[in-house]
Amino acid sequence: MKRALILMTVLGLTLGGCGKTNLNPLKWLSKSRKDAQVEVYAAPVDPRGLIATVVTLEIEPLRSGVLVRATGLPPTQGFWDAALVPLPNDGSDHLVFEFRIFPPSVPAADGTQVSREITAAASVTTFDLSGITVIEVRGAQNAMRAQP
């Protein structure tokens, strides 16, 4: 009996310390409830900038949809981590990608056009293509469009 009393006391003190959970026995009989807090999720902002110019845009059919492949031209060499980032669809029949890329960490040489070209690709499923008639890839100075 003495062990049970000690165990119940220790358990009660332990659970009593749980202020923000429903394990606190002092909250079991209280009728007051705090209003629920709503947390809003904000999509992370992509820190990469747009590529200067989109040079080519190709749409290749796949078994599961299409592959969107674009080649861009940054102003100098050394740009890295290129990706085609899809923009949220506003209900239109256009699927829009932004050609995003990180600039070099140190100044780089201009180089030739061929040495600066960067290619990025994104796959689009058949499900995501339903209702889409135009795929667009945007850069800082231009955009290119193609039909899937």
Bridge pairing between strands 49-50 and 53-62:
unpaired
User: Which of 26-35, 70-79, 82-91 is predicted least confidently?
Assistant: 26-35
How confident is the prediction for the chain on average, in pLDDT?
85
Q: Model confidence over 12-38: pLDDT tens digits?
A: 666 556 556 666 666 666 655 566 677
As given in the structure block, the two tokens for residue 33 are 């409830």
Q: Are 74 and 111 in contact (CB under 8 A)?
A: no
Whole-number pLDDT of residue 65: 95
**Whole-prediction pTM:** 0.69
Query: Cα separation of 133 and 136, whole Å?
Result: 10
Predicted local distance difference test score (pLDDT) of residue 107: 86
pLDDT at 108: 85
SS3 64: coil
pLDDT at residue number 78: 92
CA 12 – CA 26 distance, rounded (Å): 10
Per domain, the residue ranges of the chain are 1-40, 49-146
Query: Percent of the chain having pLDDT more than 90?
Result: 59
Residue 62: predicted pLDDT: 94
Q: What is the pLDDT of residue 77?
A: 92
